[in-house]
């Protein structure tokens, strides 16, 4: 703790490994880059099946799998004050200076941020998704978000669209929200030395086959494109990876138009295999109706594919289309005409989104958050009162009870009784030793 610039961060979310997805990846990569910058990072999430307790990941990343059972869609049961003791214990034993919560849909995140604020810690929140305003679920979620963000030190969104959405939903002043885009692991997503040649053009689609990802649009676009380009001069093939409720519709479409030889359905593709699927294609098609930040497009661009999408990248790397079948067909046609002029290596080398860059920008946000003034309970309560006529008073009541419970906990289990964890720093030699062991294992594998 001699270095004043060194932060001690607790990342909290319901979503972390072994579950796989965008938020989980984001937390992991960001934590690794922050560890490389010299900060201390600890992750807290709920237990996944048997995986409960403390685990260590690469680089000394400590993960607490707290044994609270998930009750709905991987979210911990929201008990309001139930998680206060364990969060307090973790904050004290790891000597945390800042709490970073991820994803508005995570109940553990909201509770952790609430308790951290009560105990006087600085808090940063990152929102990864877009939400609506009209349906009952969204209205409730937005109210909860308003409560959490009423008193947050800083907030981060992954794109300008996401910032707009968050600011509108939560009523947060825009000056408090920073935009730091997601990044892609360019070391993993590299184009091949040689593009797949032959007189065929392969269009790759990898996404969850759900309504939100535009699977219904695909059902109309694919037969139309195949009809426009019969196998006379060159072949046009589709590779569809991913699984979901709409898969049945795609299979039906395949049968109906007899496209079995032109449309290949791969099913769910594990993330480790995504690159091998991407490099077998020339064009990447993304038909999402709504997306806060589409990592899939970045991964495709990093592999040197031209993208047809309903979202944004620089103009020469993407062809945009409206979420409408005719428009998408026109966009694919345009993409195929500019395909010969694309150089995959050049696209990969652009280095637009890089995790180290994201980590440095996040560090700036942390510095700003830690500079925020300490406020006592009364000053904070005034912020909650502004949330609404009835909601404001309810939120104030919730925070007052939380404060009282915290004081009670301080009397019952004083902070001096909680043992502080010594910092375990992996020396350079130990790191190399571990990677050497890994290499040996790999060698054995390849020998087999």
Residues lying near another protein in the complex (CB under 8 A): 52-54, 64-68, 82, 85-86, 89-90, 93, 413, 417, 419, 421
Strand partners, 101: 12, 125
Q: Quick one: the chain helix, strand, coil %, rounded to 5?
A: 45, 15, 35
Q: Report, in Å, the least distance between residue 93 CB and another protein.
A: 7
Residue 365 and residue 388: Cα distance in Å, rounded?
A: 28
Q: Tell me the closest approach of the beta carbon of residue 19 to another protein, in angstroms.
A: 18
Q: Would you say 53 or 120 has its CB closer to another protein? A: 53
Give min distance, CB of 62 to another protein, in A: 9
Smallest distance, another protein to C-beta of residue 169, A: 31
350 versus 413: smaller Cβ distance to another protein: 413
Nearer to another protein, 52 or 138 (CB): 52
Number of alpha carbons in the 13 Å side-chain half-sphere of residue 360: 4
Q: Which of 147, 151, 155 is nearest to 128 (CA)?
A: 155
Of 65 and 366, the one with the shorter C-beta distance to another protein is 65
- Cβ-contact 157, 166 below 8 angstroms: yes
Q: Is 235 helix (H, G, I), strand (E, B) or coil?
A: strand
Other Cβ atoms less than 10 A from the Cβ of 64: the count is: 22
CB of 89 to another protein, least distance (A): 5
Rounded Cα distance between 286 and 218, Å, is 9
| CB closer to another protein out of 352 and 421 | 421
Residue whose CB is less far from another protein, 81 or 403:
81
Rounded least distance, CB 85 to another protein, Å: 4
Q: Which of 56, 45, 159 lies closest to 100, judged by CA?
A: 45
Total H helices, total E strands in the chain = 15, 16
Calpha distance 239→232 (Å, rounded): 20
Nearest residue to 181 via CA among 32, 291, 274, 277? 291
Nearer to another protein by Cβ, of 50 and 374: the residue is: 50
The count of other CB atoms within 10 Å of the CB of residue 180 is 19
Nearest to another protein of 108, 203 (CB atom)? 108
What is the rounded CA–CA span in Å between residue 271 and residue 206? Answer: 11
Residue given tokens 């685990």 in the structure block = 55
The CB-of-107 to another protein minimum distance in angstroms stands at 15
Distance CA 205, CA 294 (A): 13
Strands 283-286 vs 263-267: parallel, antiparallel or unpaired:
unpaired
What lies within 8 Å, CB to CB, of 6 at 6+ separation is 38, 39, 40
Least gap, CB of 421 to another protein (angstroms): 8
- Nearest distance in Å: CB 88, another protein: 9
In terms of CB distance, is 47 or 269 closer to another protein?
A: 47
């Amino acid at each position: 703790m001699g270095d004043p610039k060194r932060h001690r961060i607790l990342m909290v979310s319901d979503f972390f490994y072994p579950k796989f997805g965008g938020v989980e990846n984001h937390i992991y990569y960001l934590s690794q880059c922050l560890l490389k910058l010299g900060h201390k990072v600890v992750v807290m999430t709920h237990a996944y099946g048997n995986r409960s307790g403390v685990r260590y990941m690469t680089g000394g990343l400590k993960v607490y799998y707290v044994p609270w059972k998930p009750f709905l869609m991987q979210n911990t049961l929201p008990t309001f004050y139930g998680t206060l003791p364990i969060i307090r214990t973790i904050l004290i034993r790891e000597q945390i200076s800042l709490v970073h919560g991820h994803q508005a849909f995570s109940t553990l995140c909201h509770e952790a941020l609430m308790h951290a604020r009560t105990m006087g810690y600085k808090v940063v929140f990152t929102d990864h998704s877009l939400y609506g305003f009209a349906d009952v679920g969204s209205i409730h979620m937005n109210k909860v978000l308003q409560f959490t963000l009423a008193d947050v030190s800083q907030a981060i969104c992954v794109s300008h669209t996401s910032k707009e959405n968050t600011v509108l939903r939560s009523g947060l002043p825009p000056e408090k929200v920073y935009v730091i885009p997601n990044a892609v692991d360019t070391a993993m997503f590299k184009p091949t030395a040689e593009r797949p040649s032959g007189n065929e053009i392969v269009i790759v689609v990898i996404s969850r086959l759900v309504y939100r990802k535009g699977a219904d649009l695909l059902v109309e676009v694919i037969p139309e494109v195949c009809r426009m380009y019969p196998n006379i001069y060159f072949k046009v093939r589709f590779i569809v990876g991913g699984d979901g409720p709409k898969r049945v519709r795609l299979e039906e479409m395949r049968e109906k138009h007899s496209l079995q030889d032109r449309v290949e359905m791969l099913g769910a593709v594990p993330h480790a295999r995504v690159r091998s699927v991407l490099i077998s294609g020339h064009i990447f098609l993304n038909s999402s109706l709504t997306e806060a930040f589409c990592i899939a497009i970045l991964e495709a661009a990093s592999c040197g594919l031209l993208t047809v999408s309903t979202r944004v990248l620089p103009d020469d790397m993407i062809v945009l289309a409206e979420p409408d079948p005719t428009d998408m067909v026109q966009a694919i046609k345009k993409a195929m005409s500019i395909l010969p002029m694309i150089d995959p290596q050049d696209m990969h080398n652009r280095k637009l989104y890089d995790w180290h860059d994201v980590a440095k920008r996040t560090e700036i946000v942390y510095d700003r958050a830690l500079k925020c003034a300490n406020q006592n309970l009364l000053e904070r309560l005034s912020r909650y009162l502004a949330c609404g006529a009835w909601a404001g008073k309810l939120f104030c009541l919730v925070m007052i009870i939380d404060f009282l419970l915290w004081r009670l906990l301080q009397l019952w289990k004083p902070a001096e009784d909680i043992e502080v964890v010594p910092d375990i720093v992996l020396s350079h030699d130990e790191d190399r030793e571990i990677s050497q062991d890994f290499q040996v294992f790999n060698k054995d594998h390849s020998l087999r």
